[in-house]
């Protein structure tokens, strides 16, 4: 009995240490966003020295990680929200890119997954295998094909050049197909005997049973494209149309405090989405829906 409690205590301590390590960057970002510019440069000046002309770029041991500011200020947030509209423009750019991608990808995935689940075809498994191969490819591999296709369609440089590749990404189709295949066929056959049409089976049986999977897909896709960098850099030449994830890298040392404030503000949407759908995210990934095959 004593050995079991000792093992649990050890695992708890290990989990606590890893939790602190993982949360430390987020906590530092939030707390440092309330520091003054002079205090930030006093604590992290050597880190930002590479961005200042005439100063060496090495990071010394004198860098100080502070969790509590000496003087709390909201000046950075006032700059982000009111003084400089450029930051809010970039935030809206991120929203106008990510929200259509999430809605279109989930909408396309529901119909594609239902087709892979319900209809019989000799080529179905081959097409699904191609989906898996495409899902395993990183964004960097498909950048050049996406650039060429967008150029041929005449949408290069517009938001649609980023939205279209995201809308037809195969990840959602794969995850939702695996989830729909867990719905018992007897349930669908009973609905057909009761006179339900194919559209009614899709909307009243399949989609409600896949609610947790849909939540998890929405969260994962939002996280993925909310932090995208390579795709907008290549396809959006105009900096005014790029999302905030790209714009954060251009903030210089003289705006370090603003950078912390923008980063803290930028974390709010994914954090709220995760807290709202945490249980559905876990359930959807583990394929433990309300009905199992």
Residues 6+ positions from 77 with CB-CB distance below 8 Å: 33, 261, 265
Examine the pLDDT at 49 and tell me if it is beyond 60: no
**pLDDT confidence of residue 60:** 42
Q: Is the pLDDT of residue 57 over 50?
A: no
CA distance 41 to 45: 4
What's the pLDDT at 58? Answer: 41
Classify residue 212 as left (phi > 0), alpha (psi -120 to 50) or beta: alpha
pLDDT tops 50 at residue 37: yes
Predicted TM-score (pTM) of this structure: 0.81
pLDDT score recorded for residue 185: 82
Q: What percent of the chain has pLDDT over 90?
A: 14
At 104 the pLDDT is: 95
Q: In this model, does residue 293 exceed pLDDT 60? A: no
Most confident of 55-64, 227-236, 257-266: 227-236
Flag whether pLDDT at 106 surpasses 90. yes
Long-range Cβ contact pairs of 245-249 (< 8 A, separation 24 or more) = 245/94, 247/87, 247/90
Note the pLDDT tens digit of each residue in 203-258: 888 888 888 888 889 998 999 999 888 889 889 988 888 888 887 777 665 677 78
| pLDDT tens figures, 113-128 | 998 888 877 788 888 8
Share of the chain above pLDDT 70, in %: 86
pLDDT value for 82: 83
What tens digit of pLDDT does each residue of 142-196 get? 888 899 999 999 999 899 999 999 998 888 888 888 888 888 888 888 888 888 8
Model pLDDT, residue 28: 84
Work out the average pLDDT over 9-31. Answer: 86
Over residues 117-140, the mean pLDDT reads 80
* Average pLDDT, rounded, for the chain: 81
Q: How far apart are CA 67 and CA 260, in angstroms?
A: 13
Q: What is the pLDDT of residue 59?
A: 41
Label residue 288 by pLDDT band (50, 70, 90): very low
Helices (H), the chain: 2-32, 37-44, 75-78, 85-118, 124-136, 143-153, 160-167, 171-180, 185-193, 198-201, 207-209, 211-226, 230-235, 244-247, 256-266, 268-276, 278-285
Q: Are 84 and 46 in contact (CB under 8 A)?
A: no
């Amino acid at each position: 009995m004593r050995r079991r409690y000792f093992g649990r205590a050890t695992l708890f301590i290990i989990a606590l240490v890893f939790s602190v390590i993982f949360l430390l960057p987020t906590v530092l970002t939030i707390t440092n966003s309330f520091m003054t510019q002079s205090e930030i440069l006093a604590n992290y000046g050597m880190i930002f020295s590479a961005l200042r002309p005439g100063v060496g770029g090495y990071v010394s041991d004198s860098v100080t990680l502070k969790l509590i500011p000496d003087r709390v200020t909201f000046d950075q947030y006032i700059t982000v929200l009111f003084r400089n509209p450029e930051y809010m423009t970039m935030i809206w750019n991120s929203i106008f890119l990510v929200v259509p991608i999430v809605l279109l990808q989930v909408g396309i995935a529901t119909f594609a997954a239902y087709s892979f689940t319900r209809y019989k075809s000799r080529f179905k498994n081959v097409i699904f295998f191609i989906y898996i191969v495409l899902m395993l490819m990183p964004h960097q591999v498909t950048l050049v094909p996406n650039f060429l296709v967008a150029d041929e369609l005449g949408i290069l440089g517009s938001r649609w050049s980023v939205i279209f590749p995201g809308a037809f990404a195969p990840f959602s189709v794969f995850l939702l197909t695996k989830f729909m295949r867990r719905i018992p066929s007897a349930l669908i056959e009973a609905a057909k005997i009761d006179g339900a049409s194919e559209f009614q089976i899709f909307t009243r049986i399949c989609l409600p049973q896949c609610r947790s999977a849909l939540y998890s897909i929405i969260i994962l896709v939002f996280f993925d494209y909310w932090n995208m960098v390579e795709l907008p850099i290549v396809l959006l030449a105009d900096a005014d149309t790029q999302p905030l994830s790209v714009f954060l890298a251009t903030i210089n040392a003289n705006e370090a405090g603003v950078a912390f404030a923008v980063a803290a503000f930028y974390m709010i949407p994914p954090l709220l989405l995760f807290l709202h759908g945490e249980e559905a995210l876990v359930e959807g990934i583990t394929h433990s829906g309300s009905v199992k095959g």
